[in-house]
Every structure is written in C-alpha cells, then in structure tokens.
A and B are shown apart, each in its own frame.
Chain A
Amino acid sequence: EIVLTQSPGTLSLSPGERATLSCRASQSIDTIDLAWYQQKRGQAPTLLIYGTSSRATGIPDRFSGSGSETDFTLTISRLEPEDFAVYFCQQYGGSPLYTFGQGTKLETK
C-alpha cells in the first residue's frame, strides 16, 4: 500500500499570506497519479488539482501544485477567507487502488 503523509497537520495563517502544504508518498508515484482536494465542514471533498499540477475546472490560479516521485506540494499564493478548510492529497495505483493522506487543516491565525 502506498501511504501518503501530509504535513503539517494544522497550518495557522492569515488572509493574504502564502500557504505551503506537503504530501509525501511512501514510494515513488507518477505525477499523473497525484491529486489534491479541498473539504469544507459538512461538505464532500472538491477536486482542486490533478496530475500534480493541473487545476480542475473553475479553480482559481492562486492554487498551484508541484512535485515528483515522493514529494508533492500544494501552494496557495494569497489566502482568501474561503480557502480555510481541510486539504487532502490522493494517489492512484497499487493496492488499494486509491489512497488519501490524512489531511492538513488550514485555519485562520
């Protein structure tokens, strides 16, 4: 099983600041197989980034993704009030077919 470890567990920042979220895989994965989701309280996750760096439809360009092999990053360039939520990374392939990280909570400082 490919385990995804996200850090930090909680990130406290203010609107306007830059957020950098990390996702580390227990083994190398193809860049096409790494995605990021945002989840707000009481809602289903929403796809933000797929294929490591491609924004999903309607996602603003302040969200960007990067990385390769075992280290991946989600960056939010300037935080807006609606960005404070929980973020998950997810990989495809192996067994089980899909696994998720445990999440990073982005909270207002």
Chain B
Amino acid sequence: QVQLQQSGPGLLKPSQTLSLTCAISGDSVSSQSATWNWIRQSPSRGLEWLGRTHFKSKWYSESAISVRGRITIIPDTSKNQFSLQLNSVTPEDTAVYYCARAQVENFDYWGQGTLVTVSS
C-alpha cells in the first residue's frame, strides 16, 4: 500500500519561499512507472496541478505555466521523498497543498494535505 506523508510549515509571509516535503512509502521516487506531483486547492482556483518529477533513465520535471519560474520540484532518492519549493509567495498562493502519485493519466494516491497561509 502506497502512503504519502507531507510535512512543512503552514504559515508564510509574502515574498518568502514555500517548502513542503512528501515522504513516500510502498513505492520508490525512482520508479519508472510513476510520476510524483504537487497539486493545490483553493476556493478561488479550485484544484490546480502545479508540477511533477519522474525518472525514466534520467530525471524530468514539468510545471504548470501559472507557476513556472517560481517552482522547483526536487527528488531525494536517499530519503525516498520529493519536495516542492515555491518562491516569492503572495496571498494568492494560500491553499491546501497535496502531493500525489500518478501512473500517467490520473492520481491514485494522495498525501493528507497541508494548509499553507500567506499573510503579513
């Protein structure tokens, strides 16, 4: 059974960097049949896919245009986890952030969610 456990701070000030980690059990971040994703949910934007990392002979990362230039998703094979960094946050980045596994077309396992609030 795959489990994803999220960790990271929930309160940030504008311009700071959001950092969250997703620890994987029951699968490997290096799996060549899965991708590792970050998704957020807010009342104003709904569910929004942010980006992913995956390994297929080498490491790949893709991100949504809405956050491109501010987002980094980093795999950590030594700890079997992956991380999200989102720079220069504003109040519009306030949301519940989820990590999730995808086997191509859909998300079959999700983390528990982390409410991140950006406020001065």
Contacts and interface: CB of A to CB of B under 8 A. Distances in A.
Interface residues of B, number: 23
B76 interface: no
A100 B106 CA distance: 11
B110 A44 contact: yes
B107 interface: yes
The binding surface of chain A is classed by DSSP as mixed
Interface stretch (A8-16, A17-25, A70-78, A88-96): A88-96
State which size class the interface on A falls in. Answer: 20 to 34
A33 B98 CA distance: 21
Interface of B: 37, 39, 46-49, 52, 62, 64-66, 98, 100, 102, 104-108, 110-113
Interface of A: 32-33, 35, 37, 43-47, 50-51, 56, 88, 90, 92, 95-103
